[in-house]
Each structure stands twice: as C-alpha cells, then as structure tokens.
C-alpha cells in the first residue's frame, strides 16, 4: 500500500501582498480566519490565502472564488483477479496449451476421462475472446502430451509416444521433427529457454533433453534433480527453467527445482507454497512463476484444489494469490499471453456429467491497481464516452444508417451491460437471433425488453442466458435497441 500526502507550499514576497501575513525565520504565517471572517473580506484578490479555522484547511482565492487546499490521502493498492472467458469448444482433459505471440493455442486431450484421444487444435484470441479451430495436430490423437513455443512456432510431442511436431501459425501447417530422446513418455513437462526447447520427466522418468531447432536434434542433459516424476508443472523465467510438484509412484510431491542451461545443473529451491499435488497447471508472467489447481488427495484419493501460488526467483519465496475461480481443477492447461495468465479445462468433482470434465476457461491479471482518494478533489476536462463493441448482425438485419445509432454493446464497472442501435430489414420470425453477446455479457436468465419498432408501434426483444439477442415481435421497418441494459452474470 502506498500512501501519498499532497500538501501545498506557498511562498510569499515581502511586499505587495494583498492581505496581512507574517514572514518569520521558521516559516510563513497567514491570517487565521473563520469562514464568516473570510467571506467578510470585501475585495479578495486572486492569489490571496488564509487558514480557515472551521475546516482546518488553507483557502486560496483563485478564479474569483475561494477554493480549499486541503491535503488529500490517496491510497494505491494492488490485487489480482480471475475472470471467466469464452468456453473452449468441447470438454477437455489432458490437453496441451501454449502461446505464440498474442494468441493462445490448445489441443489434443480427450473429451472424457475414458474417451478417445483427440487431435483437434484451436487458437484463442484474447482481444475478441473467440476460439477458432485450426489444422488438426499432425501426430494424431493423444492425451497428456507436452506443448511449448519457441519464437513464432509451437511444438507438441510425447503423450504416450516419442514423436515431436512443429506448428507454424502463419501457414497453419504441422511438420514432423526429430523424435524426443529417451523414448515414449506421458505426463512429461516442457518449456523453452531462448532458442532451445526442453522436455523431461514423465512416465516415472527423470531424464531431461534439450532440442536444437537449427540442427533438429535432441541432446541429453543432466537428469531432473528431484528424481522420477509424472504430471509435474514446468515453465521458464528469464534464462532459467523450473519444474515442481507432480507424483512419483504414489507419492505426490511439493519440491521445486531450478535448471541452469549454461551450467547444465539443477538447484533445489523453496518448496512449492501449497500442498503436495499432481496434475496442476502453471505459467510465468513478468519474471514470476505461477502454479495452481491440481489433485491434493492422499494416496489414490481425488481431491481437486483451486489455490494459486506465485513464485519470485529473486526472493526464492512463494506467495498465495487469488484462488482459481470457484472450483478445483485437475489436468487442465495453463499458459500466458503478455502480462495475463490463462487456465482452464481439466476435470473437477462439482459436475454431474461423466466424469466431471470441463471446458471453462479463465484469464488471470496479477496486478490490478486501485486508487482511493480521501479529501477534496477537483477534476477538469471531459469524461470519455464508453467504447461500444460492434457485434456481427445476423439474419439480414443491418444498421438503419442515416445518422441513427449503430449497434453496439459495452459493460460498465458495475457489470451492467448496455445496448444501443437502430436496425432494419431482417427476418421477423419469433426468436430470430439479431446477434450474440460474448461470454461475460450474458444475463443470468432470459430477459424481455419492450422496444420501439415501426412508427407508433412497439416490439419485443429477448436476451437469453446464452447471450442470444433475439427478435420476438414487431416489424422490420426499424427496431431500436437503445436503452436496453441488464446486469451480467458473474
């Protein structure tokens, strides 16, 4: 918490002051007056100042009025938060996830715990909060593989095999590369440091391998320092790699290790801050590492956890952060884009479908700055108008034009969604979809609104809990969405 005290330091010349004041060796003294006495000054001059004994505040006459110069206490605090984003296409467990530039990528895994392994592959755009299916993973369906990125390419391999593939997001093409050293494995970890990729552990192994993209070759490096390990978490921070948690035999682990690629050595660091676990997710942001969720059950028990911890390499310490959404999660995905983290998918025990596999997806912001002000504050200028987002109109509906408002929506700080727009010309069958609002802009239940539609008549618009903005009644000479607002489901 940062506390800033704003004060005023006023210097007065010895001559030409419009009111009586005293200059002494220990400071400047201005007249002490009550509000009544201040207001009795017949002709105050811009720049004149008194100390108001009623509000214990310096008062300055400027712009032909008395204004307070009371100090303000400003408190700047930081916190963190998870926000639900658009769901992944289908339920998924044991998938891979990584980012390339400003986009995220998720694929493979299975839609149920016992289901067929899948090869589909999807791109996530955090700006539009939209998932787009890309070319299927080149190696075919698999579960519990490894994925990471280097430069502008993505890499996926293992998952019960030793094959390894490179993905080019520009051409949307997969290319087979040299098989991972050490043989087939599942539940391994992978990350990149600079222009080298690394894969290790998995299937009760402790070996560790480095990939050279130029030579398209793997070389064995020092074994992971923590011994055999499956379903651990791995990520890189600056020029170091990190691996921790996971399971060895039937023992869930809490240790955490740092890899130095120059020295080719492992150093044990402070144990992970939470309970020993397997199947957790992790990512790194701004020289900090994050590990959360996972199975913390004893022995063979399945107990999903939702805590999240931040690791600082500089202090070698862990700090608990805001918990991952409302439920625990096991075998999900985690990656970062810029200064935001992302987690989701996997399975929990709070659902009734078989067997609890999820498709929800969340964005993590590590440092949210809040400012509170206690005191007198004057602000000049104009307040900026909200930025409305233009949706894609459907079923032949178009903006009316001719200077009338175009269709748009935005959500204010109180999570109230506001709509605007004047449209015409579309299909008027009941429940025709005008456009669809993205996740986070949906009401908790279907909402019904009366709107202007045609000269002297009214129509009805429904907005469903899935975000469909629907025409229900009216005419298509025009339909107004101006003034529609509702609270979004959190």
Q: Do residues 105 and 56 share a domain? A: no
Q: Do residues 338 and 264 share a domain? A: yes
CA atoms in the 13 A half-sphere facing the CB of 222: 15
Domain assignment of residue 393, yes or no: no
Q: Is the peptide bond before 355 cis (omega within 30 degrees of 0)?
A: yes
Distances (CA, A) of 41 to 22, 34, 61, 364, 380: 18, 11, 11, 58, 28
Place of tokens 């009586």: 20
For residue 416, give both structure tokens: 């109230």
Q: Do residues 111 and 33 share a domain? A: no
Domain assignment of residue 99, yes or no: yes
Q: Do residues 87 and 220 share a domain? A: yes
Q: Kindly report the CATH number assigned to the domain that includes residue 202.
A: 2.120.10.80
Q: Do residues 402 and 362 share a domain? A: no
Q: Do residues 48 and 172 share a domain? A: no
Report which secondary-structure segment, H or E, holds 362.
Answer: strand 361-374
What mean pLDDT do residues 133-157 have? 97
Measured in whole angstroms, the distance separating CA 482 from the mean position of its chain's CA atoms is 30
Q: Do residues 149 and 288 share a domain? A: yes
Tell me the whole-structure pTM to 2 decimals: 0.67
Q: Do residues 176 and 30 share a domain? A: no
Dihedral-angle region of residue 249 (phi above 0 means left; psi in -120 to 50 means alpha; beta otherwise): left
- How confident is the model at residue 376, as a pLDDT? 61
Read off the pLDDT of residues 357-413 as tens digits, 9 standing for 90 and up.
999 999 999 987 776 766 666 666 666 667 899 999 999 999 999 999 999 999 988
Report which secondary-structure segment, H or E, holds 36.
Answer: helix 35-39
pLDDT at residue 71 tops 60: yes
Domain assignment of residue 353, yes or no: yes
Domain that residue 57 falls in: 2-71
Average pLDDT over the chain reads 90
Radius of gyration over alpha carbons of the chain, in Å?
Answer: 30
* Better-scored residue on pLDDT, 225 or 22: 225
List the end-to-end C-alpha distance of the chain, in Å, as a whole number. 28
Which DSSP state fits 38? H
- How confident is the model at residue 11, as a pLDDT? 41
Strands (E) in 89-207, as ranges, are: 96-100, 103-107, 121-125, 130-134, 146-150, 153-157, 164-168, 173-177, 189-193, 196-200
The bridge status of strand 458-463 relative to strand 447-452 is antiparallel
Q: Kindly report the CATH number assigned to the domain that includes residue 463.
A: 2.60.40.1830
Domain assignment of residue 469, yes or no: yes
The bridge status of strand 49-52 relative to strand 32-33 is parallel
How many domains in the chain? 3
What mean pLDDT do residues 90-102 have? 96
> Is there a contact between 291 and 305 (Cβ–Cβ < 8 Å)?
no
Ranking 85-99, 345-359, 441-455 by mean pLDDT, the lowest is: 345-359
Cα 183 to Cα 187: distance, rounded to the nearest angstrom: 13
3-state SS class at 109? coil
Ranking 328-337, 351-360, 371-380, 440-449 by mean pLDDT, the lowest is: 371-380
- How confident is the model at residue 138, as a pLDDT? 97
Q: Do residues 350 and 215 share a domain? A: yes
> Is there a contact between 345 and 88 (Cβ–Cβ < 8 Å)?
yes
Q: Do residues 436 and 321 share a domain? A: no
Q: Do residues 306 and 163 share a domain? A: yes
> Is there a contact between 199 and 184 (Cβ–Cβ < 8 Å)?
no
Picking from 44, 71, 98, the residue at the C-terminal end of a domain is 71
- How confident is the model at residue 7, as a pLDDT? 37
Burial 406-429 (b: 16+ CB within 10 A, else e): ebbbebeeeeebbbbbbbbbbebe
Task: Give the pLDDT band (50/70/90) at residue 350.
Answer: low
Q: Do residues 309 and 430 share a domain? A: no
What mean pLDDT do residues 298-318 have? 93
Q: How many CB atoms lie within 10 A of CB 170?
A: 8
Q: How many CB atoms lie within 10 A of CB 59?
A: 22
Domain assignment of residue 317, yes or no: yes
């Amino acid at each position: 918490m940062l506390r800033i005290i704003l004060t005023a330091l006023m210097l007065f010349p010895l001559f030409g002051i419009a009111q009586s004041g005293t200059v002494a060796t220990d400071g400047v003294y201005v007249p002490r007056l009550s509000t009544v006495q201040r207001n009795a000054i017949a002709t105050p001059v811009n720049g004149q100042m008194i100390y108001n004994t009623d509000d214990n505040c310096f008062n300055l006459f400027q712009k032909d009025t008395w204004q307070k110069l009371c100090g303000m206490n400003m408190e700047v605090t930081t916190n963190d938060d998870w926000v639900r984003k658009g769901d992944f296409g289908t339920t998924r467990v044991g998938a891979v996830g990584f980012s390339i530039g400003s986009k995220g990528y998720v694929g493979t895994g299975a839609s149920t715990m016992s289901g067929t392994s899948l090869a589909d592959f999807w791109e996530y755009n955090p700006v539009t909060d939209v998932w787009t299916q890309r070319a299927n993973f080149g190696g075919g369906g698999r579960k519990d593989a490894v994925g990471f990125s280097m430069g502008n390419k993505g890499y996926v391999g293992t998952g019960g095999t030793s094959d390894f593939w490179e993905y080019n997001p520009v051409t949307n093409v997969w290319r087979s590369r040299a098989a991972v050293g050490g043989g087939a494995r599942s539940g391994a970890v992978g990350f990149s440091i600079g222009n080298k990729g690394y894969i290790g552990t998995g299937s009760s192994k402790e070996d560790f391998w480095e990939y050279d993209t130029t030579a398209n070759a793997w070389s064995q490096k020092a074994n992971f320092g923590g011994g055999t390990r499956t379903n651990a978490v791995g990520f890189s921070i600056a020029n170091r790699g990190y691996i921790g948690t996971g399971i060895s035999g039937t023992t869930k682990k809490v240790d955490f290790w740092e890899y130095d690629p120059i020295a080719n050595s492992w150093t044990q660091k402070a144990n992970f801050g939470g309970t020993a676990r397997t199947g957790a997710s992790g990512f790194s942001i701004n020289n900090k590492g994050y590990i959360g969720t996972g199975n913390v059950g004893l022995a063979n028990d399945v107990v999903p956890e939702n805590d999240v911890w931040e690791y600082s390499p500089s202090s070698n310490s862990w700090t608990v952060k805001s918990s991952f959404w409302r439920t625990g999660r096991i075998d999900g995905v985690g990656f970062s884009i810029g200064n935001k983290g992302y987690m989701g998918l996997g399975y929990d025990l709070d659902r009734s479908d078989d067997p609890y596999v999820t498709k929800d997806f969340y964005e993590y912001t590590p440092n949210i700055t809040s400012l509170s002000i206690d005191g007198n504050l004057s602000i000049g200028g104009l307040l900026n108008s909200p930025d409305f987002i233009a949706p894609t109109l459907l079923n032949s509906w178009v903006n009316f034009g001719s200077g009338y408002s175009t269709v748009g929506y935005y959500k204010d700080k109180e999570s109230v969604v506001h709509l605007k727009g004047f449209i015409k010309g579309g299909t008027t069958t009941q429940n025709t979809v005008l456009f669809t609002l993205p996740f986070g802009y949906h009401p908790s239940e279907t909402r019904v609104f009366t709107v202007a539609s045609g000269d002297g008549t009214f129509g009805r618009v429904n907005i469903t809990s899935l975000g469909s903005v629907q025409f229900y009644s009216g005419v298509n000479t025009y339909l107004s969405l101006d003034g529609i607002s509702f609270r979004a489901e959190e």
